[in-house]
A and B are shown apart, each in its own frame.
Chain A
Amino acid sequence: MSARDNILNKLRSSLEDTKPRPDDFNVDLVTKPWSYDSTQGKIKQLRAMMESVRTEVYQTTQAEWVSIFADVLKQKQVNNLLYAPTVKWGTQIENYWAKNTTLPTLKTYDRPVEEWKHELFFEVDASITSTLGGIAATGSLIVWPTTEEPRLMSLVPPIHFAILEASKIANNFYEAQQILNWADNTPTNALLISGPSKTADIEQVLAYGAHGPKELIVIILEDA
C-alpha cells in the first residue's frame, strides 16, 4: 500500500464512529470589531496601520496623482521605474512622461523573467503596481499578480509604489474575501502586502528592507 493509503486509512480508523464537528463559524466575531463607519474611517484606519510599519501614504485624486508620484520619484532619486503600460495607471504615466523631461526611465515587464532576471534583480530601482483593494483592519493591500503585473514586480525592486482606490478598501479580511468572491476566483498567486519588508530576527530590533522592498509607498485615489 502507498504512503497515501496508509496515512488515510490510519486517520479513518481513528475517526470510526465519530461525527464531524459542526461548522459554527462566527462571522460577527471576525467582522464587527473590525468595521469602520465610512470610506474616510476606513482610510484613516488603513493609514494608521500602514504608517505604523513605515509605509508612506499619499491621499490624492485621479487627476493629481501622477504629478505627486513624479515628485516623489525625483525626491527619492529613482533612475528607472518598472510599470505596466497596459493598465489604466500606465497610460496616465505615459501621458505625463511624454510632457515632462528629466523623469526616470520607464521599463516594462514584457517578457518572461528568465530573459531579464539579472536586470530585474540588480538594475531596477522602483516599480508601480495596481491593487485589487485594501483591508482597513490590518492596513493591507490586496494584490493578485497578473500577466501585466507579474509576481516579482511588487517584490524585487527596492521601492514599491502601489495604487489603491479608496472605494475598494474593505473593512476586514473576511469582507475582502466576500467582495472578491475569492473562494471561487482563486488566482495562482494572491498577496496581502502590509508594509515594506522587515525583520526583527536580531535581538528583536526592527529593521526594514530584509529581502523585499525597502520602501512601500501607497497612493490612495479618493475619487476612483
Chain B
Amino acid sequence: MSKTEQPRIPVLDALSQHFKENAHMALRNKQLRHNMRTAMDSLITKRLVSMPDENERESLRELGNHVRARALSKLPELLEKLEANLTKRGVQVHWAETTEEANQIIFDIAKRRQAKLFIKGKSMVSEELNMNHFLKKQGIEALESDMGEYIIQLDYERPSHIIMPAIHKNAKQVGHLFENKLQTPYTDDVDTLIQTGRKVLRNKFFEADIGISGVNFAVAETGSLFLVENEGNGRMSTTVPPVHIAITGIEKVVENLRDTVPLVSLLTRSALGQAITTYVNLISGPRKANELDGPEEVHLVLLDNGRTQAFADAQLRQTLNCIRCGACMNHCPVYTRIGGQAYGTVYPGPIGKIISPHLMGLDKTEDLPIASTLCGACGEVCPVKIPIPELLRRLRKEDVRPPEEPLHYVKGQGARFSRKERTMWNIWKSMNTKPNLYRKFSYLATRLRFMTPNILAWSQNHSKAKPASYTLHELAKKHLGDKK
C-alpha cells in the first residue's frame, strides 16, 4: 500500500438518503462495527456511573422535561424576550426560515468584514446549513476546531455522532490520516495526535477573521448564550476572532438562568457521564469599550428549517425538547451497529429519526421511522423524556397516510403509502373479523401449506413461515373432544 492510500473507512454516501444501502454497507464493515460497539458500551456505562441514584435521576429527568416543555409553551414570547435582551447588550439577532437564508446572513457578515477564514466550534446547526461547503464556494475557508470535527473534515466526512463526531475511527486510522494530510510521522499515540491537532489549530485561531459556534441554551431572562465544551476550542472560537457568529435552532431558548441548572447536569451526564464539562461559557455581549479582548461583534442567527412544522402539532412538538446529548444514539441497537453516517442525515440515531423528517420532509427520510426496533431504550434514557418510540410510531403513521388526505402534519406525508399494501391489509382485516371467511381461509392455508410462497425480506434471514397442518380451532376441538 502506498503512503497516500492508507486504510480508511469508506465515506458513506453522506446526505444521500440511501439509508438501506448505507446500512448494508456499514454492517459489512467490521472495523466500523468494532469501533462503534466499543465506544457505545463505554458511554452507556459512564452515564450510569454518573447517575447512580435512580430517584435523583428520574426526578431530574421529569424536571428537565418540564423546563423544556414550559419554554416551548411560551416560545414566541421567550424568543422576543431573548432578542430584546441580547440586542440591549449589543448582540445582533438575525432570523432565518431556511438554511439558504441563514447561509446568506452569515455570508453578508463575512463580506462586510472581508473575512477569509472562519474557525468553528462544534455546531450541528452549521451542519444543517452545510455551511462549510457554502462558504468554500464563496472563497471562504471554514475550519473545524473541535478535534473530532477537525479529523473528519480532513477526511471529507460528516460527523457520525453529535457529541463525538469521529467516534467511528480508531487511533490507527487517525494516525494514518494525519500522516497523509499533515505530513507528520505516523503514530497511534492519542496524546501525540492531539498535540499535533492543537499546534495546527492554534495558528488558525490566531489568524481567523470570524468564529462560529452553536448554542446549548439561549437564556431569555439574561440574554445569554450558554455553551458547554471540554476542549477550549469553543472558548477560542468565540473569544479570539474579532467577530463571533452563534447559530441555533429557535427551540433552544430557556426561560430563566436557573433553568440551565438541571439541564446542564442532565446534558453532560447523559452525554459523556461527566458531572460537568471543562468549560461552561456564558456569552452575553461583545467586548465593551473598557475590555481588552473578546469579539467586537457578536451575532446570533435563529434558524427555523422545519422546526415550526414540528411545533405545529402538540405531540410532534416534543421532538423540540431535545438538548442534543446523544444518549439515545449511545443506547440504540440500530445506531450502534451501523454508525451515524449510514443515516445520511445531519442528526443520526433515534433523535435523527424524529427530527430529520421535519427538517427534510418525510419524502426524503421515509425509511428513518421504520429503521427502529422500537425497543424503547432511547425513550428510557432521554434526559428530557422525549417519548421517541411513540413519536416514531406517529411518524410511521404519517409515512403511510395517503398523500392526498388533508391535514398534513409532516411535509412529504405518505412517502411510504402504497395502494397495494393498503388493499392487502384491508383484505387481511376482513379475513380476521368475519368468522366465516376466517374459517375458510385458515382451512385453505393449512391444507395448502406446501404452497407457502417465499416472502423475500423475511425469508432472507429466517426459515419460511409455514402455517401449521391444522388450524388452532381444529386442534382445540380435537383436544377438547379427546378429553370428553
Partner of B95, one of A3, A14, A145, A200: A3
Residues of B within 8 A of A188 (CB): 89, 283-288, 291, 294
Give chain A interface residues in 194-221, CB to chain B under 8 Å: 194-205, 207, 209-213
Residues of B within 8 A of A68 (CB): none
- Asked if B69 is an interface residue, CB under 8 A from chain A, the answer is yes
Residues of B within 8 A of A19 (CB): 73
> Of B159-167, B428-436, B438-446, B450-458, which stretch is located at the interface?
B159-167
How far apart are the CA atoms of A2 and B193 in the complex, in Å?
47
Residues of B within 8 A of A29 (CB): 56, 59-60, 63, 262
How far apart are the CA atoms of A211 and B235 in the complex, in Å?
9
Task: Check B67–A200 contact: CB distance below 8 A.
Answer: no
Residues of A within 8 A of B69 (CB): 21
Interface string of B270-309 (1 = CB under 8 A from A): 0010011111111111111011111000000010100010
How far apart are the CA atoms of A200 and B255 in the complex, in Å?
32
Measured CB to CB, the closest approach of chain A to B203, in angstroms, equals: 9
Task: Check B198–A202 contact: CB distance below 8 A.
Answer: no
How far apart are the CA atoms of A23 and B69 in the complex, in Å?
10
How far apart are the CA atoms of A74 and B77 in the complex, in Å?
56
Measured CB to CB, the closest approach of chain B to A82, in angstroms, equals: 12
Partner of B278, one of A22, A147, A186, A198: A198
Give chain A interface residues in 74-98, CB to chain B under 8 Å: none
- Asked if B206 is an interface residue, CB under 8 A from chain A, the answer is yes
Cβ-closest chain B residue relative to A138: B276
Task: Check A177–B261 contact: CB distance below 8 A.
Answer: yes
- Asked if B201 is an interface residue, CB under 8 A from chain A, the answer is yes
Measured CB to CB, the closest approach of chain A to B107, in angstroms, equals: 15
Cβ-closest chain A residue relative to B43: A204
Give chain A interface residues in 130-176, CB to chain B under 8 Å: 137-140, 145-147, 150-152, 155, 172-174
Most chain A CB within 10 A, of B60, B236, B276, B282, is at B276
Task: Check A212–B76 contact: CB distance below 8 A.
Answer: no
Residues of A within 8 A of B97 (CB): 3, 6-7
Partner of B171, one of A174, A195, A202: A202
How far apart are the CA atoms of A78 and B285 in the complex, in Å?
34
Instruction: Contacts A12-B76, A211-B232 given; indicate if A194 touches B70 (C-beta within 8 A).
Output: no
Residues of B within 8 A of A174 (CB): 258, 261
> Of A57-65, A99-107, A109-117, which stretch is located at the interface?
A109-117
Task: Check A211–B76 contact: CB distance below 8 A.
Answer: no
Instruction: Contacts A183-B257, A212-B231 given; indicate if A203 touches B279 (C-beta within 8 A).
Output: no
Partner of A212, one of B80, B171, B235: B235
- Chain A residues touching B, majority SS: loop
Interface size on A, residues (CB 8 A): 76
Measured CB to CB, the closest approach of chain A to B112, in angstroms, equals: 19
- Asked if B190 is an interface residue, CB under 8 A from chain A, the answer is yes
Task: Check A212–B236 contact: CB distance below 8 A.
Answer: yes
Task: Check A14–B195 contact: CB distance below 8 A.
Answer: no
- Asked if B13 is an interface residue, CB under 8 A from chain A, the answer is no
Task: Check A2–B190 contact: CB distance below 8 A.
Answer: no
Task: Check A7–B280 contact: CB distance below 8 A.
Answer: no
Measured CB to CB, the closest approach of chain B to A93, in angstroms, equals: 19
> Of B2-10, B140-148, B392-400, which stretch is located at the interface?
B140-148
Residues of A within 8 A of B195 (CB): 209
- Asked if B427 is an interface residue, CB under 8 A from chain A, the answer is no
- Asked if A38 is an interface residue, CB under 8 A from chain B, the answer is no
Residues of B within 8 A of A211 (CB): 145, 198, 201-202, 205, 231-233, 235-236
Residues of B within 8 A of A26 (CB): 59, 63
Measured CB to CB, the closest approach of chain B to A57, in angstroms, equals: 16
Instruction: Contacts A29-B63, A177-B257 given; indicate if A200 touches B292 (C-beta within 8 A).
Output: no
Residues of A within 8 A of B179 (CB): none
Taking A7-B308, A21-B69, A210-B232 as known contacts, 10 extra A-B pairs with beta carbons closer than 8 A to each other, sorted by chain A number, are A3-B97, A8-B80, A11-B311, A14-B308, A113-B293, A145-B293, A150-B291, A188-B288, A197-B231, A210-B194
15 contacts between A and B (CB under 8 A): A21-B70, A30-B261, A117-B206, A150-B292, A150-B293, A183-B222, A196-B278, A200-B272, A202-B170, A204-B42, A204-B167, A211-B235, A212-B232, A212-B278, A212-B279
9 closest Cβ pairs, A-B complex: A212-B232, A201-B148, A210-B231, A192-B280, A211-B232, A197-B232, A138-B276, A4-B95, A113-B293
